[in-house]
């Protein structure tokens, strides 16, 4: 076995996909183990070396809310010292103006705000109502854009919410278009608790298209709680979406959504895309080696099937 699948392209799918790596942020924000800053920096460096075109590095959120990422400034300062402008291009989460100020102080160029599609999760994750979260984002995004930054908008709980159950697609489209209206360049649609299924993915993408939002502005962010993440990527590819969030080794979850388990593993996504002959530019062995190394720091094996199949001791 070569460590890569045979390639058998499927007609009608995109030729190239961007993998948006969220392991250092979405993965590590949920770890019980406190990961030393130097290990986080090495994680980011290794992911870049493996060819991941975008690596979301950390979050400038309140350190009491997410203590795992309280070292965000220290991490980014160290990465900038080492990588210079390459590090300033790494996206970070900022929920509000205070977070943006912290990112601007370091000269970072890409930020992401994160909205909830549901009332309950807006309150649990952001301490805001569904409506007032946008009052927090509005000045944050306006100032970010004025400073020439790129803003990504996440929407969480797009396919279901652990407290509210089913989430109507129109409600997700409303939240997403509000972020786009505020100037988000790309919208990442989050299946925060991993309940999405393939038909639902197509329905949501179509609803955005009906609202005038093309697939070129969408990214899909799956969690693999029910083992549906790759089926959902396939549905997204059939609908024409070309950006997929993934987390090395399948790390992740959300500290304010207890039912959120790991993200779609980057390795599983790379294996899948490679099999379909879709270009992604990522070195699978490099990511597997990185996840295997990180699993050693975290003290538990990666949940990714591809990591388990390919990693050697």
Q: Which residue has the tokens 């509210």?
A: 164
Phi, psi of 227 (to 5 degrees): 70, 20
Say how far apart CA 92 and CA 184 lie, in whole Å. 14
Q: Does 71 bind Mg ion (CB under 5 A)?
A: no
Q: Locate 270 and state its tokens.
A: 């790379």
Work out how close the CB of 74 gets to ligand HMG at its nearest, in angstroms, rounded to a whole number. 14
Half-sphere exposure of 2 (CA within 13 A, CB side): 7
Number of residue whose CB is nearest ligand HMG:
190
Closest approach of ligand HMG to the CB of residue 49, in Å: 24
* Phi and psi angles of residue 301, each rounded to the nearest 5 degrees, phi first: -70, 155
For Mg ion, give the closer residue by CB, 201 or 276: 201
Distances (CA, A) of 275 to 189, 237, 294, 296: 25, 14, 26, 28
Q: How many residues bind Mg ion (CB under 5 A)?
A: 1
3-state SS assignment for residue 174: helix
Active site residue 158: no
Which of 66, 230, 235, 254 is the catalytic position? 254
Q: Does 26 bind Mg ion (CB under 5 A)?
A: yes
20 binds, among Mg ion, ligand HMG, none (CB under 5 to 8 A by kind): none
Q: The tokens of 212 are what?
A: 């005038």
What's the closest the beta carbon of residue 122 comes to Mg ion, in angstroms? 15
Q: Which residues bind ligand HMG (CB under 6 A)?
A: 26, 29, 59-62, 65-66, 95-96, 98-99, 114, 125-127, 154, 156, 190, 192, 221, 254-256
**Shortest reach from residue 243's CB to ligand HMG, in Å:** 14
- The crossing angle, in degrees rounded to 10, of helices 72-83 and 97-105 is 30
Tell me which residues touch Mg ion (CB under 5 A): 26
Q: Which are the catalytic amino acids?
A: 254
């Amino acid at each position: 076995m070569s460590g890569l699948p045979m390639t058998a392209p499927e007609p009608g799918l995109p030729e190239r996909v961007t993998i948006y790596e969220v392991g250092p942020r979405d993965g590590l924000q949920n770890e019980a183990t406190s990961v030393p800053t130097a290990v986080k920096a090495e994680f980011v460096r290794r992911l870049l070396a493996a060819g991941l075109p975008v690596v979301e590095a950390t979050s400038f959120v309140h350190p009491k809310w997410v203590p795992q990422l309280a070292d965000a400034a220290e991490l980014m300062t160290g990465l900038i010292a080492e990588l210079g402008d390459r590090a300033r291009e790494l996206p970070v989460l900022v929920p509000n103006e205070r977070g943006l100020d912290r990112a601007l102080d370091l000269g970072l160029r890409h930020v992401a705000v994160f909205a909830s599609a549901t009332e309950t999760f807006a309150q649990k994750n952001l301490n805001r109502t569904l409506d007032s979260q946008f009052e927090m984002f509005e000045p944050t995004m306006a100032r970010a854009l004025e400073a020439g930054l790129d803003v990504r908008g996440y929407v969480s709980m797009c396919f279901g919410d652990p407290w509210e159950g089913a989430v109507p697609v129109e409600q997700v489209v409303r939240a997403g278009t509000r972020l786009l209206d505020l100037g988000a360049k790309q919208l990442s649609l989050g299946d925060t608790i991993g309940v999405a299924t393939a038909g639902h993915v197509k329905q949501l993408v179509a609803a955005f298209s009906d609202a005038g939002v093309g697939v070129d502005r969408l990214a899909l962010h799956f969690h693999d709680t029910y083992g549906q993440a790759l089926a959902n990527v396939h549905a997204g590819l059939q609908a024409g979406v070309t950006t997929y969030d993934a987390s090395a080794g399948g790390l992740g979850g959300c500290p304010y959504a207890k039912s959120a388990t790991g993200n779609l593993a980057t390795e599983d996504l790379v294996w899948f895309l490679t099999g379909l002959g879709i270009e992604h530019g990522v070195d699978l062995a490099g990511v597997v080696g990185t996840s295997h190394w990180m699993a050693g720091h975290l003290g538990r094996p990666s949940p990714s099937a591809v990591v388990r199949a390919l990693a050697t001791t």
